[in-house]
A = this chain, B = another copy of it.
């Protein structure tokens, strides 16, 4: 066979392609060419057939698709740390909204989104679906950090520096949808803030825009018990039923949070082919409640994972978020077999990609897809011994173990941890002690 030339070859101890689900390949390599995955094959075969400008060898590394953060407010990195432990409404009215009021501008959104993008990039996020004012500035900041992103054609029933009236929000939403309709590295979602902050008329208009542009609907839904009760009081129905009547519950809906769901709500989402975005840290910290993830998975609803913004989380850490999602789902269901390692790693990658209707391009390591790839080092003392790489990626390794993040074949972030211990112990000596006991099993 003639030798072929690639841009990058990544040789890894383990490859977790996500599709097919549940598979961990050993000693495989990824061949990246022109921003895409050309091949996933045993390293020996790749070495025989390919050369590359750059060969990255990861003898202790696990390679997987980049994480898809299905719900962020990236610019809110700049208001991180404000108002811990306050009641929700005090937190919003005395801290977050005044801060946003003072700072809001295209520059604020661009620079905040850039910092958030760097935080996400070094922790293995390659795509984020953002939801905020000045979405074109968010796109600039996130692209400056190297991320792929979906930004929000945003509407809310309150005046802001971005728009004053429903009509103005919708005009700007239309601009955003037009700007990003051709795809590429930035796409747009139709993003009415929440059922309780957007009027029926505007929601109906959002449904039309979503259909016209074939754009996902990115919306906070059923986040709190109060929101559900208020909707019954004000509209006579639960928020999801109202959204259904207005034409928003379909396979383009990304129902963010979805904490307070009854069985009928779950059945409605499943029948519609809708997606949910689970943000467990935010739901816990804001005392919103517990999303029934095991029930949603069992009903066949597509589940993605999101970090929410740094004001309510305060980490844009998709690996940590997914770990918590898995653990919490087990406790909520009272069943350790719920929310398996492979289901949850799928949610954090393909789940998000499918919700964004971007799964033809991203979410798994399959030839032809974009080269959005991350590498995680499993040789640290936190992950030893490696008896189940996928489980230990999720449960033992943290985002600090992400060593490389590629988006469309470009290496956008690298990270390395150096440690020393009393007695100057080498990393290799720790690994060999762990391996000794592992080999006795």
User: Residues of B contacting A88 with CB < 8 Å?
Assistant: 336
In the bound assembly, the distance between CA atoms of A79 and B392 in angstroms comes to 12
Contacts known (A330-B284, A335-B287); A419 close to B413, Cβ less than 8 A: yes
Taking a contact as CB atoms closer than 8 A, the residue among B315, B324, B414, B422 that contacts A411 in the complex is B422
User: Residues of B contacting A440 with CB < 8 Å?
Assistant: 102-103
User: Which residue of chain B is the closest to A389 with respect to CB atoms?
Assistant: B81
Are B87 and A387 interface neighbours, CB within 8 A? no
- CB interface residues, A 71-105, toward B, < 8 Å: 77-82, 84-88, 91, 99, 102-103
Per-residue B-contact encoding for A421-441, CB less than 8 Å = 1, 0 else: 111010000100110111011
CB proximity of A341 to chain B, nearest CB, Å: 5
Taking a contact as CB atoms closer than 8 A, the residue among B396, B412, B418 that contacts A81 in the complex is B396
- Point out which of A99, A395, A398 has the most chain B C-beta atoms below 10 A from its C-beta: A395
Please give the count of copies of this chain that the complex contains: 2
Are A81 and B391 interface neighbours, CB within 8 A? yes
Query: What is the predominant secondary structure among interface residues of chain A facing chain B?
Result: mixed
Are A418 and B421 interface neighbours, CB within 8 A? no
Extra 7 A-B pairs, beta carbons < 8 Å, given A78-B437, A80-B392, A287-B336: A81-B396, A111-B433, A115-B433, A144-B423, A145-B422, A285-B326, A413-B421
Give 18 pairs: A residue, B residue, CB < 8 Å, sorted on A: A81-B387, A81-B388, A81-B392, A81-B395, A84-B395, A85-B391, A87-B337, A103-B440, A103-B441, A115-B381, A115-B384, A283-B331, A284-B331, A287-B330, A289-B334, A290-B331, A415-B418, A416-B417
Interface residues in chain A, defined as those with a beta carbon under 8 Å from any beta carbon in chain B: 77-82, 84-88, 91, 99, 102-103, 108, 111-112, 114-115, 118-119, 121-123, 144-146, 281, 283-290, 310, 313-317, 320, 324, 326-328, 330-331, 333-338, 340-341, 381-388, 391-392, 395-396, 398-400, 410-423, 425, 430, 433-434, 436-438, 440-441
